[in-house]
Amino acid sequence: MIIAVDGPAASGKGTIAAALARHFGLPYLDTGLLYRAVGRAVADHIDAPDIEARAVEAASCIDPDTIDPEALLGADTGVLASRIAVFPGVRAALFAFQHDFARLPAGAVLDGRDIGTTIAPNADAKLFIVADAGVRAERRARQLESRGIVVDRAQMRAEIEARDARDAAAPHGGFRPAADAVLLDTTNLDIEAAIKAAIAQVEAAMVRKAAGPD
């Protein structure tokens, strides 16, 4: 079973995807980490004229096994990631690893922005997680604070909105839900309720799939 979980920054998709992976016993890949690792690798040159070539080179050298998620958590790293994610060469360099992960014999859960549309268009279940921007900023602030990171809330909101804008104008016309994705709005859901709703949606997708085409 392949499960694609997409959505904007801090929508809860990572927490939901990890919970789905545990629930269904599947390997899990947070694809945002790949973009974050590339953004971090070229952080010192982010405004350089040759940033695109540098980012493509960094993306080609990324070893997913050596990525430390904790080191890439910060909102500043998310902004760096969204700046290098617009380069088609970066996306192409990161494609094969994600594509192969989605085809592991055991199945997989992947979360990101383009899983249901590009990385695993044949996924068995596709969720697109959304939430109000203010709620997303508050959630991300609390997540970072729980790890001892000091957060400026106004700046956090501005960074989330800047990332939304950049992601919406991404190279291929912006990230959109796949036509067959189920939208899950978590604005008014706590994490337990969101996970429960996501599990129910995946189970419903499996039932639809087993029943065959309409």
The interface with ligand C5P within residues 167-196 (CB under 6 A) comprises 167
Which run of H or of E encompasses 111?
A: strand 108-112
Residue 93 binds to ligand C5P (criterion: CB under 6 A) = no
Among 20, 29, 163, 201, binds ligand C5P (CB under 6 A): 163
Q: How far is the CB of 212 from ligand C5P (least distance, A)?
A: 30
DSSP assignment, residue 123?
-
Residue entry with tokens 């979980």: 5
Q: How far is the CB of 210 from ligand C5P (least distance, A)?
A: 28
CB distance 38 to 55 below 8 Å: yes
> Based on the number of CB atoms within 10 Å of its own CB, is 44 exposed (0-12), middle (13-18) or buried (19 or more)?
exposed
Give the interface size with ligand C5P as a residue count (CB under 6 A): 14
| CB closer to ligand C5P out of 69 and 203 | 69
| CB closer to ligand C5P out of 26 and 80 | 80
Which x/- pattern, by CB under 6 A, does the window 61-80 give for ligand C5P?
-----------------x--
CB-closest chain residue to ligand C5P: 32
| CB closer to ligand C5P out of 31 and 201 | 31
Among 59, 112, 117, 136, binds ligand C5P (CB under 6 A): 112
Type of residue numbered 39: G
DSSP assignment, residue 117?
I
Binding range to ligand C5P, per CB under 6 A, among 41-49, 110-118, 127-135, 206-214: 110-118
45: alpha, beta or left? (left if phi > 0; alpha if psi -120 to 50): alpha
Radius of gyration from C-alpha coordinates of the chain: 17
9: alpha, beta or left? (left if phi > 0; alpha if psi -120 to 50): beta
Among 31, 117, 186, 201, binds ligand C5P (CB under 6 A): 31
Residue 113 binds to ligand C5P (criterion: CB under 6 A) = yes
Residues 6+ apart with CB under 8 A from 7: 13, 111, 113, 127, 128, 129, 130
Residues that bind ligand C5P (CB under 6 A): 9, 31-32, 35-36, 78, 81-82, 85, 112-114, 163, 167
